[in-house]
């Protein structure tokens, strides 16, 4: 983005009714164009929000951060440069670069880094923090030549690495990747000496733009995709199975097929991290079974579900996979080496992200892995990530059991041994609760999302309660699958949020949740801040079952009304203690 | 309006969004209230990026109007093109 474009973007105004996103930019240099670019990129990341970027005082990063500890905002962007860690590492001061001063500079850097880390940790308790660690070159301070990494430079880099390690694990802190910044903003083209000396702004425009883009992305932290569908021949492995046979498919260096091995390794890795993997291949099912049994790919057979192996159109296989998973197509990536198959799937499922596996280009195949990492990367792994595949399999097995001639849906539910556990407590640290609020579409009361900061603020409001529901039955655990949040007001409860994972449908968990909530609070009625969305059809059907027709807006439901319409709930419902 | 004038006007318009075409042509530190030191840095950065020229720090104080900047950029571009 050019500065001219960034300034133009700032002029595009939204209605004053649009939600406001307040971001504080803390840096020690004059924020000038970094503020402009940050504002413009935030507008791109949050197109429905009005953006306000506040700044602090010049040349006082530590003070700016300490003042932000008690300020209210949605997010804090902190940019640390070497001169913020010790002014002698800047070029606007001449405090001395003598060899005897180097130890003192190192000590100063460590001391300031610790002070900044303390402050950032306090800010992160109530804000999302996007952090950039020194992006500019260390000035020619040391007596060693520039092509050699002397102990002084190594000590400085170690101090920053320790700062990064300390903060990277903190909830709410997102640090800009050095590797990614190096790729989009070459280190040698970042420092603008003239601008630093004349205006106190040390970045070339291209660097300010690139850094601002990454910081804005870190604030938005886009939801990762949930699932990947892969082709097999010339994608998961090299070779056409039906032509070359099981013994000749390959994914190793010897057969010049390493990119397929790396791809399998990557899929195995994201599968362990809770991403669903399915296969869609025009192939002979027996041959594919034999390939997995005899050739033992790096991605094991049991990490792939479902496996759609047939000679039909790929789009139909994808449709069956989406039904088995019960996830929205916009959460899914499809990878195939055939441009034709990709186009056919894209035409039938436009929301699925379709990516070409470049079977003849190692460099492009490596780039594909980088792109997939961006699409599936997540901040942290949860217990639900570990059990997701098994719970999908269990749901599928349960659905098949219901479809058998001897099993009615009612009998199936009665015999499922379902156990619903609700945990009450306004814990903003339960990342799964916020994840469900922000990722769930189909059973979602109103589609309202929260940032880390707004979620913390909401849970801190008076009379607000939060209930997180977990479920398991004889087919296995589903983990935390539902969140209800609202307010208690005498004999009435008002629900502001109610979301449930699509994996938990058809078990009357929603009935069980509402039943327990009414009983627990002794409520005579429940008010729902309902908003119909293009995607919350399953929730609308649930309400239609209780009201006779789907509601059009917020409404109240009396306890007797619910009791009359509520079907038998076969769940054992219990509350978990908040130890 | 020639190409240089049009592109320079776009730069002014981005930094001083309230000004119309006539006001931009007559713009100076005296006539534009928002033309402070920060606006000056932003304006010159936008122009440098747009035209690929670089302002000499010693000349900056003299660039106090649209016309003076127009002349300066025109001269610099001519030197580059020659």
| Cβ within 8 Å, pair A201-B41 | yes
B46 Cα to chain A: minimum distance (Å): 6
Contacts with A198 from chain B: Cβ below 8 Å:
41, 57, 60
Q: What is the mean pLDDT of residues A254-276?
A: 95
Joined together, the tokens standing for residue A453 give 């900061």
CB A138 within 8 A of CB A85: no
Q: What is the mean pLDDT of residues A541-562?
A: 92
Dist CA A419 CA A410 (whole Å): 16
Q: What is the mean pLDDT of residues A243-248?
A: 92
Reported as a pLDDT band with limits 50, 70 and 90, residue A66 is very high
By C-alpha distance, which of A506, A518, A525, A503 is closest to A569? A506
Q: CB neighbours of A283 closer than 8 A, spacing ≥ 6? A: A232, A233, A241, A242, A309, A310, A311
Percent with pLDDT over 90 in chain A: 75
Q: What is the pLDDT of residue A405?
A: 67
| Cβ within 8 Å, pair B42-A198 | no
Q: What is the pLDDT of residue A420?
A: 95
B45 Cα to chain A: minimum distance (Å): 8
Q: What is the pLDDT of residue A57?
A: 85
Chain B interface, Cβ < 8 Å to A? 10-11, 14-15, 17, 38, 41-42, 45-46, 49-50, 54, 57, 60
Q: What is the pLDDT of residues A565-575, one digit of tens each?
A: 999 999 999 99
A566 Cα to chain B: minimum distance (Å): 60
Q: What is the pLDDT of residues A432-482, one digit of tens each?
A: 899 899 888 889 999 998 888 888 889 989 899 999 999 988 888 888 999
A187 Cα to chain B: minimum distance (Å): 19
Contacts with A32 from chain B: Cβ below 8 Å:
38, 41-42
Shortest CB distance from B46 goes to which of A4, A198, A199?
Answer: A4
Shortest CB distance from A7 goes to which of B15, B54, B60?
Answer: B15
Reported as a pLDDT band with limits 50, 70 and 90, residue A30 is very high
Residue whose entry in the numeric block shows the structure tokens 């814990």: A427
Q: What is the pLDDT of residues B40-78, one digit of tens each?
A: 999 999 999 999 999 988 898 899 999 999 999 998 876
| Cβ within 8 Å, pair A7-B49 | no
Return the top range by mean pLDDT from A177-186, A239-248, A392-401, A555-564: A177-186
Q: What is the pLDDT of residue A11?
A: 86
Contacts with B11 from chain A: Cβ below 8 Å:
4
| pLDDT above 90 (res A118) | yes
Q: CB neighbours of A204 closer than 8 A, spacing ≥ 6? A: A189, A190, A191, A192, A195
Q: CB neighbours of A418 closer than 8 A, spacing ≥ 6? A: A471, A472, A473, A507, A509, A570, A571, A572
A4 Cα to chain B: minimum distance (Å): 6
Peptide bond preceding B10 in cis form (omega within 30 of 0) = no
**Domains along chain A?**
3-220 (3.40.50.1110), 227-376 (3.40.50.1000), 399-576 (3.40.630.30)
CB A546 within 8 A of CB A560: no
B34 Cα to chain A: minimum distance (Å): 15
CB A60 within 8 A of CB A30: no
Dist CA A481 CA A501 (whole Å): 5
Contacts with B57 from chain A: Cβ below 8 Å:
194, 197-198
Instruction: Name which of A43-52, A172-181, A387-396 the model is least confident about.
Output: A387-396
Crossing angle, helix B37-51 and helix A32-45, to 10 degrees?
A: 70
Residue whose entry in the numeric block shows the structure tokens 């098994």: A390
Q: What is the pLDDT of residue A386?
A: 77
Reported as a pLDDT band with limits 50, 70 and 90, residue A388 is confident
B47 Cα to chain A: minimum distance (Å): 9
| Cβ within 8 Å, pair B60-A198 | yes
Shortest CB distance from B57 goes to which of A8, A36, A194?
Answer: A194
| Cβ within 8 Å, pair A4-B49 | yes
| pLDDT above 70 (res B37) | yes
Contacts with B38 from chain A: Cβ below 8 Å:
32
Any idea what the Cα angle at residue A227 is, between residues A247 and A422, rounded to 5°? Answer: 130
CB A305 within 8 A of CB A278: yes
Joined together, the tokens standing for residue A426 give 């306004």
Contacts with B15 from chain A: Cβ below 8 Å:
7
Contacts with B54 from chain A: Cβ below 8 Å:
194
| Cβ within 8 Å, pair B41-A32 | yes
Max CA distance (Å), chain B? 37
- Top residue of B45, B57, B58, B63 to mutate, by most chain A CBs within 10 Å, is B45
Q: What is the mean pLDDT of residues A222-250?
A: 94
Q: CB neighbours of A420 closer than 8 A, spacing ≥ 6? A: A469, A470, A471, A509, A512, A513, A516, A571, A572, A573, A574
Cα A196 from chain centre: 36
3-state secondary structure (DSSP) of residue A206: helix
Dist CA B69 CA B63 (whole Å): 6
Cα B69 from chain centre: 5
Dist CA A35 CA A55 (whole Å): 8
Q: CB neighbours of A340 closer than 8 A, spacing ≥ 6? A: none
Q: Is the dihedral of CA B18, A20, A212, A372 positive or negative?
A: negative
Shortest CB distance from B14 goes to which of A4, A33, A201?
Answer: A4
Q: For the beta carbon of residue A517, count every other beta carbon within 10 angstroms.
A: 22
Shortest CB distance from A2 goes to which of B38, B42, B49?
Answer: B49
B5 Cα to chain A: minimum distance (Å): 16
A174 Cα to chain B: minimum distance (Å): 29
| Cβ within 8 Å, pair A3-B41 | no
Reported as a pLDDT band with limits 50, 70 and 90, residue A506 is confident
Q: Is the dihedral of CA A44, A45, A48, A51 positive or negative?
A: negative
Length of chain B: 82
- pTM across the whole model: 0.81
Dist CA A554 CA A531 (whole Å): 7
Q: CB neighbours of B4 closer than 8 A, spacing ≥ 6? A: B70, B73, B74, B77
By C-alpha distance, which of A489, A488, A500, A483 is closest to A541? A500
CB A203 within 8 A of CB A211: yes
Chain A interface, Cβ < 8 Å to B? 2-4, 7-8, 11, 32-33, 36, 194-195, 197-199, 201, 205
Contacts with A11 from chain B: Cβ below 8 Å:
14, 17
Cα A328 from chain centre: 16
Q: Is the dihedral of CA A184, A187, A188, A190 positive or negative?
A: positive
Q: ipTM value, please give it.
A: 0.90
Percent with pLDDT over 70 in chain A: 99
The backbone region for A274, taken as left when phi is positive above 0, alpha when psi lies in -120 to 50, beta otherwise, is: left
Dist CA A264 CA A367 (whole Å): 15
What is the Cα gyration radius of chain A? 27
- Helix ranges (DSSP H) in A504-547: 509-521, 537-547
Q: Is the dihedral of CA A266, A270, A271, A277 positive or negative?
A: negative
Q: What is the pLDDT of residue A399?
A: 72
The mean predicted confidence, pLDDT, of chain A is 92
| Cβ within 8 Å, pair A199-B41 | yes
Contacts with B44 from chain A: Cβ below 8 Å:
none
Q: What is the mean pLDDT of residues B12-19?
A: 94
Dist CA A513 CA A523 (whole Å): 14
Reported as a pLDDT band with limits 50, 70 and 90, residue A578 is low
Q: What is the pLDDT of residue A409?
A: 77
A–B CB contacts, 8 A cutoff, strictly below: 36
A553 Cα to chain B: minimum distance (Å): 41
By C-alpha distance, which of A515, A461, A513, A512 is closest to A488? A461
* Nearest-Cα residue of chain A relative to residue B15: A7
3-state secondary structure (DSSP) of residue A352: coil
**Domains along chain B?**
3-81 (1.10.1200.10)
């Amino acid at each position: 983005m050019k500065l001219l474009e960034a300034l133009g973007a700032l002029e595009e105004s939204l209605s004053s009714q649009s939600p406001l996103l307040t971001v504080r930019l803390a840096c020690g240099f004059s924020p000038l164009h970094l503020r402009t670019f940050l504002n413009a990129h935030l507008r791109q990341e949050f197109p429905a929000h009005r953006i306000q970027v506040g700044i602090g005082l010049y040349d006082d990063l530590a003070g700016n951060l300490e003042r932000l500890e008690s300020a209210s905002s949605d997010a804090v962007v902190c940019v640390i440069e070497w001169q913020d860690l010790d002014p002698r590492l800047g070029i606007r001061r001449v405090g001395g670069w003598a060899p005897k001063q180097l130890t003192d500079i190192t000590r100063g850097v460590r001391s300031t880094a610790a002070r900044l880390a303390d402050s950032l940790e306090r800010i992160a308790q109530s804000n999302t923090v996007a952090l950039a660690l020194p992006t500019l070159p260390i000035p020619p301070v040391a007596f060693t030549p520039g092509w050699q990494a002397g102990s002084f430079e190594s000590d400085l880099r170690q101090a920053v690495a320790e700062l990064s390690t300390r903060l990277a694990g903190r909830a709410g802190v997102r640090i800009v990747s050095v590797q990614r910044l190096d790729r989009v903003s070459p280190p040698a083209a970042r420092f603008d000496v003239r601008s630093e000396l004349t205006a106190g702004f040390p970045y070339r425009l291209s660097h300010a733009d690139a850094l601002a883009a990454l910081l804005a992305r870190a604030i938005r932290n886009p939801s990762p995709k949930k699932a990947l569908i892969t082709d097999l021949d010339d994608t998961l492995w090299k070779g056409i199975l039906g032509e070359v046979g099981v013994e000749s498919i390959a994914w190793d260096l010897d057969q010049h097929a390493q990119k397929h091995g790396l791809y399998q390794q990557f899929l195995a890795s994201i599968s362990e991290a809770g991403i669903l993997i399915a296969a869609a291949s025009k192939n002979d099912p027996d041959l594919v079974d034999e390939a997995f049994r005899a050739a033992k790919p790096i991605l094991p057979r049991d990490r792939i579900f479902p496996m759609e192996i047939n000679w039909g159109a790929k789009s139909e296989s994808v449709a069956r996979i989406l039904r088995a998973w019960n996830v929205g197509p916009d959460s899914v990536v499809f990878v195939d080496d055939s441009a034709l198959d990709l186009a056919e799937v894209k035409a039938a499922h436009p929301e699925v992200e379709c990516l070409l596996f470049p079977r003849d280009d190692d460099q492009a195949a490596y780039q594909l892995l980088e792109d997939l990492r961006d699409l599936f990367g997540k901040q942290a792994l949860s217990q639900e990530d570990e059990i997701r595949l098994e719970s999908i399999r269990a749901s599928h097995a349960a659905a098949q059991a219901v479809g058998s001639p001897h099993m009615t849906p009612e009998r199936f539910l009665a015999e499922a041994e379902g156990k619903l556990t609700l945990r009450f407590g306004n814990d903003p640290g339960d990342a799964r609760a916020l994840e469900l609020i922000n990722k769930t579409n189909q059973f979602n009361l109103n589609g309202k999302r929260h940032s880390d900061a707004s979620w913390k603020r909401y849970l801190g409001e008076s009379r607000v309660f939060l209930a997180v529901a977990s479920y398991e039955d004889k087919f296995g655990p589903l983990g935390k699958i539902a969140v209800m949040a609202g307010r208690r007001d005498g004999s009435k409860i008002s629900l502001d949020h109610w979301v449930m994972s699509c994996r938990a449908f058809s078990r009357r968990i929603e009935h069980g949740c509402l039943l327990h909530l009414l009983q627990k609070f002794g409520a005579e009625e429940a008010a729902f801040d309902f908003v119909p969305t293009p995607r919350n059809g399953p929730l609308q059907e649930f309400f239609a079952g209780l009201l006779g027709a789907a509601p059009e807006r917020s409404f109240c439901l009396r306890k007797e009304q619910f009791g009359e319409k509520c079907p038998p709930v076969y769940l054992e419902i219990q509350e978990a203690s908040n130890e | 309006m020639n190409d240089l004038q049009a592109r320079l006007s776009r730069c002014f318009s981005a930094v001083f969004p309230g000004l119309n075409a006539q006001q931009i042509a007559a713009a100076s530190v005296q006539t534009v209230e928002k033309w402070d030191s920060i606006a000056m840095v932003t304006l010159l950065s936008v122009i440098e990026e747009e035209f690929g020229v670089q302002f000499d720090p010693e000349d900056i104080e003299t660039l106090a109007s649209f016309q003076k900047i127009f002349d300066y950029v025109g001269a610099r571009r001519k030197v580059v093109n020659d």
